[in-house]
Structure 1
Amino acid sequence: MVAVGKLKGWPADGCADYAKRLRRHFAVETIEVPEEDMNRRSPTEVLATEAERIFRRIPAGSHVVALDRERGKSLSSEKVSQRLASLGVAGRSDLTLLVGGPLGLSQGIIGGADEVWSFGEITLPHALARVVLLEQLYRAVKIERGERYHW
């Protein structure tokens, strides 16, 4: 995952917990790029600067999925599981998930992504979106493996 901003407090704890669970199944890395100061620059400048930082951190050859509420495709947990499984079958084992900051992701990032996903029409704080994303990946792994999620 490449995400804008550094997490603190309970969102950081939640992400760390799900990343630990996911590492039992595959490698997980979270790269945090600095959040641009929205008080000193226009939204367009903020998004452009953050986009440059994100682009530099996307591994070559990676399948890129951007998160965007307005432009993304809403997927059920089962569909996320199926999508991840199909990427693995297609030999696309390097997946990079992009999460923007308070302003989201630039049009350039969205347009350059292989896929754009959404958590539906609700607006989530970007820190919470990161927790939800990792939780959904963990849930997808459990679904794919036919394992129980709830105890």
Structure 2
Amino acid sequence: MAAAIVVAALPIAAMTAELTTKQSPYSVSETLDRLENILAEKGIAVMARVDHAKNAEKVDLELRPTQLLIFGKPEIGTKLLQQDQTIGIDLPMKVLAWQDAAAQVWLGYEDPRAIAAERGLTGAKDTLQKMAEGLDNLTDAALRQ
């Protein structure tokens, strides 16, 4: 017996949380290395690191340095998932580091409060505030000279 496929239409209003960007004085790799070390010190699990430029190279394409770090704390993210499991598409947290055409390195991430607002998640104001402040502090620490 074939499994039934159910398609549910979710509101797509403006499914684009604004990207918070910060200039980095370091290379893409060093920027994320620094962030990864800080996360380890804080007991925050790194789930994956994706090197988009290296993946592009594998298919004979060029891309300026671009890496994504995926990380989180299940004891925080699960509180959001318990309210709305669809927020799992945006969790764990992600931070992107990239080098632009002028060779400037940037660090960017979406504010968890904006992500939750887009999904209509309203009951986790304190958790979202803590996540947003933590993300801001962690990324600031990684960029300090």
TM-score (norm 2): 0.28
Q: Could you say which structure has the larger radius of gyration? A: 2
Larger proportion of strand: 2
